[in-house]
Amino acid sequence: MLAAVSQSVHADEVVERGRYLSVAADCVACHTSPRQGKPYAGGYAIASPLGEIWASNITPSKSHGIGLYSEDDFAKAVRAGVRKDGAHLYPAMPYTSYAKLTDEDIHALYTYFMKGVAPVDEEAHATELPFPFSIRQSMAVWNLLFLDKETFKPDAGRSAQWNRGAYLVEGLAHCSSCHSPRGLMMQEVGGKAFAGGSLGDWYAPNITSHPISGIGGWSDAELAQYLKTGRVAGKAQAGGGMAEAVSNSLSKLQDEDIAAIVAYLRTVPAVADPDATRAAFAWGDAAATPGEQPVRGTDAALASGGVLYSGLCASCHGSRGEGSKDGYYPSLVHNTTVGMTRPQNLIATIIGGIDRDVHGDHALMPHFSQGSFVQDLSDADIAAVATYVRTQFGPGDQVTEAQVALTRAGGEKPLLAKIARLWLPMLIVAVLALEGRGMKLLSLSGIGLLLLAVSGTVSAAESSTAGKPKPVDSIVQTPLSADWAARLWLQDRGVTPSARIVIGSGVNSDGYKGSGWSTAEHIDLGATIDTGKAFGFDGTLRVVFSDRFGNAINERSTGSYIQNQAFYGQGQNLRFNELSYERLLLDKRLSLKGGFYSMGNDFGGLPYTCNFNNNGQCGHPLGPIYSSGWLDNPTGQWGLRVKWNDPSGWYAQTGIYDVNPTRKQANSGFRVSTKGKTGLFLPVEVGYSHGKSGEDYGGTYKVGYYLDTSNADDIGDPAAPRASHRGGSYVQAAQRVWKPEGETVRGISVFGVATRADAKTGLMRYSWEAGLSWRGVIASREDDVLSLAWNRLDISDRLARHQQLTGKDVQSNEQFVELNYGVQVAPWLVLRPAVQYVARPGAYASRPDSWVFTLQAQATL
């Protein structure tokens, strides 16, 4: 009986030891939902840079927890990050630190969770990271590279206290998981342990022994007090993840263990922050005199920050930042959060507030974001008040709206997350390379992708397009790099880079040249430059280079005029596409534009028509292109355009451009000289647009005329004297006709186009287009578009009569129908499968009609 009692006492001791170890490991912080969740039942979302990782149920439930785990299964999960079913855990579960746990402690933890925790038969939320992070087996490679499986071994040359502290800091308390910087693969960077690390919106500071950058300026008593209570007057107050660690774990540790942690941290090799000129807690003096605006300086933003501080902050922190006498409301003078080299934690504190409860001592600061019971502050407001606080009591730097927006959005994404979003473009590059076409893509877009990816390492703020109104007449893709640091840095200086990859593939059912598969690729790289920001004079400068390669279905198989892949032709090679400058005058009513670019950029376009894969709709009317010197992207020409924009929605524009057919040739990608010029192109266009806000029914209407002064053959009599010019006209209209009540984006729009070419010289006397686009057929997919269009090209009667008289196959008209569904897979990526039908390809009745199935992928980078 005594033996049984002894065993029972021993078992209870093991359970209690396991409970204490679970507190030291802070298991409850992640494995218990903060919304009154049951202990260890999971349901807490860890906001990792790669997506939300949901903590699992680790109660002894046999249906939803770890009740069926053996002790070996448990040890493997805790120390190696592998579940009982063989699936790998993500290192948000700090098994890289727990790998150091001794067998004795693993046994105690297992005993506690099996005997001291109540089972909860509830399924925790499953983790669903985006591809490719969703492939858990990839962690096997990560573990092979970065997981140190060696358990803790005491250092015989150190004291028992130091060794205990090392075991806690390096193992159970997993301090390095937050306080160490991460490398490319999200591993802890060797040689910089405890030098500080980003936690998304918060930053875990340097806790090495460095006297300025780290904790070298703290006394042992201050460090112990901070770990036990989360606050030290004149030093710091815990917030964010550290507040949770203090509340759930550190405050409940024995004093001996806290002392051991301090002793070990004292010996961590110092790592300096080159930006730190004094300790973060050493900044600041109380404002000289109380008052509403004790503002140093005259900056307007600083003054507005002073007003906000006076109204929202001074009642607790004091008008001079001195805090309350009892220390409950901390002083902002000599405050680590205020004095850090980066304002991240100050911004996060204002946005998220502080809620720290240690042994009934509840520290609460309200948040000032959406849902605040005090006031919801905008990014500009937070930037102003944070600037005021750091100017009055800290290092004196300015906090920007972009920095606030970045923190509010969860912090800057690591490079791995940015590169991983390129998995589809990278796959496309690989496929094309295997096809033997990859060198061109790698030489232009591949380098561009690499530069964009690397640029994400530059420290800057993230911007967001959220909340901006969406256009009703087209899908605007948000660049993949829209929130990347280097892009934002360039945009702040007036330079907006652009990069795009379009791949159109398809197969036809029949054709006068047979059937087969064809793929065409288009790449462009460029930049739009606000010359006011960049160079000091108003205007917009645009530079673009492009490349096209691959094969076209209409050339290889069907023989149609209309190209099944819109991004083929008009310059099938690497080329200099555009160098243009535009200046707005007279309150932006007058636009002057000149340089080297395609005149089709400015004339004869409708946004709706680019919801199609073929160039009969996507691009510009084919009648003028086949019947004159009208040039479309990506072939440039020298020109000048003048446009008048009336506030009522009317506009009128005209221009003069050179006509040089040689520039479309494959070897003329960088030909900018006038050699080969045949004449001048003179377009005139008048148009009207209304309802662009999305609140009503928007429409666009255009009528245009063009004159090409180039000499041209008589289409019906090649022997006749050449005509001294050629010309034509066009009419275009697009109108939204239906939208669900209360909607601003979803709806149906119809469009139509008609062109007329010169009777004597025009190959296509008339061309016709009609169609509709239904945006948001599925209510939950408002950015997807279902589109249907018909196109007809009428060959000149003069040519048909000449063909008949000379015994040639007579051309009449070609008709083309496309039905497609554009899926916005991501803000930067659209996939558009389409079915097309070509009747009388090439306008020849002798050629078989053809069904064509195409898929277009367009990535805006």
DSSP 8-state code for residue 721: P
Digit-coded pLDDT (tens) for 601-617: 899 888 776 788 888 87
Alpha-carbon distances of 91 from 29, 146, 206, rounded to whole Å? 15, 11, 21
DSSP 8-state code for residue 171: I
Residue 466 pLDDT greater than 60, yes or no: no
Residue 101 pLDDT greater than 80, yes or no: yes
> How far is it, in rounded angstroms, from Cα 396 to Cα 384?
12
The pLDDT confidence band at residue 467, using thresholds 50, 70 and 90, is: very low
Q: Do the strands 495-508 and 850-860 form a parallel or antiparallel pair, or are they unpaired?
A: antiparallel
Percent of the chain with pLDDT over 70: 88
DSSP 8-state code for residue 662: G
In 3D space, the residue among 706, 693, 568 whose CA is nearest the CA of residue 627 turns out to be 706
Annotate 406-444 with b (16+ C-beta within 10 A) or e (fewer). Answer: bbbbebbbbbbbbbbbbebbeebbeebeeeebbebbbeb
- Confidence at residue 301, expressed as pLDDT on a 0 to 100 scale: 55
Provide the strand spans (E) within 104-259: 197-198, 203-204, 231-232, 236-237
> How far is it, in rounded angstroms, from Cα 494 to Cα 531?
7
- Confidence at residue 106, expressed as pLDDT on a 0 to 100 scale: 95
CATH of 183-418, one of 3.90.1150.10, 3.40.50.300, 1.10.760.10, 3.40.50.720: 1.10.760.10
CA dihedral sign, ordered 608, 613, 618, 621: negative
> How far is it, in rounded angstroms, from Cα 858 to Cα 502?
4
Which residues are 502's β-sheet partners? Answer: 522, 858
Locate 388 and state its tokens. 């005021």
Q: Do the strands 679-690 and 699-708 form a parallel or antiparallel pair, or are they unpaired?
A: antiparallel
Q: 351 and 337 in contact (C-beta within 8 Å)?
A: no
Residue 431 pLDDT greater than 70, yes or no: no
Digit-coded pLDDT (tens) for 380-407: 888 999 999 998 888 888 898 888 888 8
- Find all residues with CB under 8 Å of 382, minimum gap 6, and list them: 347, 350, 351, 368, 399, 404
- Find all residues with CB under 8 Å of 413, minimum gap 6, and list them: 49, 456, 462, 483
Provide the strand spans (E) within 429-571: 495-508, 517-530, 540-550
Residue 123 pLDDT greater than 90, yes or no: no
What does the pLDDT average to over 449-460?
38
Where in the chain are all domains bearing CATH 1.10.760.10? 183-418
- Confidence at residue 303, expressed as pLDDT on a 0 to 100 scale: 65
Q: 481 and 487 in contact (C-beta within 8 Å)?
A: yes
> How far is it, in rounded angstroms, from Cα 480 to Cα 469?
19
- Confidence at residue 471, expressed as pLDDT on a 0 to 100 scale: 54
Digit-coded pLDDT (tens) for 684-725: 999 998 876 555 678 889 999 999 999 988 888 888 888 889
The fold of 421-860 is Porin (2.40.160)
- Confidence at residue 573, expressed as pLDDT on a 0 to 100 scale: 76
Which of 318-327, 354-363, 566-575 is predicted least confidently?
566-575
Q: Is the pTM of this model over 0.85?
A: no
Average pLDDT across the chain, whole number:
84
The pLDDT confidence band at residue 119, using thresholds 50, 70 and 90, is: very high
Residue 801 pLDDT greater than 50, yes or no: yes
Residue 450 pLDDT greater than 70, yes or no: no
- Confidence at residue 693, expressed as pLDDT on a 0 to 100 scale: 57
- Find all residues with CB under 8 Å of 240, minimum gap 6, and list them: 199, 201, 202, 345, 348, 349, 352
Digit-coded pLDDT (tens) for 625-634: 888 888 888 8
- Confidence at residue 8, expressed as pLDDT on a 0 to 100 scale: 53
Q: Which amino acid is at 631?
A: L
Residue 596 pLDDT greater than 70, yes or no: yes
Residue 530 pLDDT greater than 70, yes or no: yes
The pLDDT confidence band at residue 155, using thresholds 50, 70 and 90, is: very high
Residue 512 pLDDT greater than 80, yes or no: no
The pLDDT confidence band at residue 3, using thresholds 50, 70 and 90, is: very low
- Confidence at residue 4, expressed as pLDDT on a 0 to 100 scale: 44
- Find all residues with CB under 8 Å of 587, minimum gap 6, and list them: none
Give me the DSSP letters along 3-65: HHHHHHHHHHHHHHHHHHHHHHTTHHHHHB-TTTPPTT-B-PEEEETTEEEEPPP-SS-TTTS
- Confidence at residue 295, expressed as pLDDT on a 0 to 100 scale: 43
Q: Reply yes or no: is the peptide bond before residue 634 cis, omega within 30 of 0.
A: yes
- Confidence at residue 582, expressed as pLDDT on a 0 to 100 scale: 95
As a three-state string, the secondary structure of 596-637 is EECHHHCCCCCHHHHHCCCCCCCCCCHHHHHHCCCCCCCCCE
Percent of the chain with pLDDT over 90: 35
Residue 81 pLDDT greater than 50, yes or no: yes
What does the pLDDT average to over 544-566?
87
Q: Which amino acid is at 696?
A: D
- Find all residues with CB under 8 Å of 536, minimum gap 6, and list them: none
Alpha-carbon distances of 32 from 62, 124, 384, 479, 539, rounded to whole Å? 18, 10, 37, 38, 56
Annotate 266-297 with b (16+ C-beta within 10 A) or e (fewer). Answer: eebebbebeebeebbbebbebbeeeeeebbee
The pLDDT confidence band at residue 109, using thresholds 50, 70 and 90, is: very high
- Confidence at residue 585, expressed as pLDDT on a 0 to 100 scale: 94
What does the pLDDT average to over 310-326?
86
> How far is it, in rounded angstroms, from Cα 425 to Cα 547?
16
- Confidence at residue 158, expressed as pLDDT on a 0 to 100 scale: 94
- Confidence at residue 42, expressed as pLDDT on a 0 to 100 scale: 86
- Find all residues with CB under 8 Å of 5, minimum gap 6, and list them: none
- Confidence at residue 327, expressed as pLDDT on a 0 to 100 scale: 79
Q: Reply yes or no: is the peptide bond before residue 827 cis, omega within 30 of 0.
A: no
> How far is it, in rounded angstroms, from Cα 681 to Cα 725?
10
What does the pLDDT average to over 510-528?
85
Residue 176 pLDDT greater than 60, yes or no: yes
Where in the chain are all domains bearing CATH 2.40.160.180? 421-860
Q: 830 and 857 in contact (C-beta within 8 Å)?
A: yes
In 3D space, the residue among 107, 6, 104, 123 whose CA is nearest the CA of residue 56 turns out to be 123
The pLDDT confidence band at residue 850, using thresholds 50, 70 and 90, is: very high
Instruction: Give me Rg for the CA atoms of the chain.
Output: 34
- Confidence at residue 475, expressed as pLDDT on a 0 to 100 scale: 62
What does the pLDDT average to over 102-118?
94
